[in-house]
Amino acid sequence: MIKSIFIQKGNTGELIFYKTYEDLFDIKLTSSFLSAIFSFVKQTLRTEQLSEIEVGPFRFIFEIEKLGNDELLFALFADRTDNLVELRGHLKEIQTQFLGRFDETSLTHGFDGEITKFKDFEQNIENILENNRTLISEENKKAIMNIFEELHTFSVFVVSSGLITQTGRVVISYLEANVLSEIIRLLEGRFITGNYQINELISLEDFGILSLKGIDDHFISVILFKETCPFETSLLIAKKFSQRLRNLLM
Same domain, 102 and 13: yes
Same domain, 120 and 10: yes
Same domain, 100 and 163: no
Same domain, 118 and 16: yes
Task: Compute the C-alpha angle 218/51/165, nearest 5°.
Answer: 15
Tens-place pLDDT, residues 40-80: 776 665 555 667 787 778 888 888 888 888 888 999 988 87
CATH number of the domain encompassing residue 111: 3.30.450.70
Q: Which of 194, 143, 151, 150 is nearest to 171 (CA)?
A: 143
Picking from 100, 133, 166, the residue at the C-terminal end of a domain is: 133
Q: Which of 158, 174, 248, 171 is nearest to 209 (CA)?
A: 158
Same domain, 86 and 178: no
Picking from 70, 99, 133, the residue at the C-terminal end of a domain is: 133
Same domain, 117 and 171: no
Task: Compute the C-alpha angle 87/62/60, nearest 5°.
Answer: 70
Range of the domain at 214: 138-249
CATH number of the domain encompassing residue 209: 3.30.450.30
Same domain, 8 and 59: yes
Same domain, 171 and 241: yes
Same domain, 12 and 116: yes
Q: Tell me which of 23 and 14 has the higher pLDDT.
A: 14
Q: Which of 11, 3, 66, 78 is nearest to 38 (CA)?
A: 11
pLDDT band at 95 (very low <50, low <70, confident <90, very high): very high
As for how many domains the chain has, the answer is: 2
68 C-beta neighbours (distance < 10 Å), count: 10
Same domain, 186 and 218: yes
Same domain, 238 and 119: no
Same domain, 33 and 54: yes
Most confident of the following: 23-27, 43-47, 84-88? 84-88
pLDDT for res 165: 86
pLDDT for res 159: 95
Does the structure show a pLDDT above 70 at 168?
A: yes
Distance (Å, rounded) from C-alpha 94 to C-alpha 244? Answer: 32
pTM listed for this prediction: 0.64
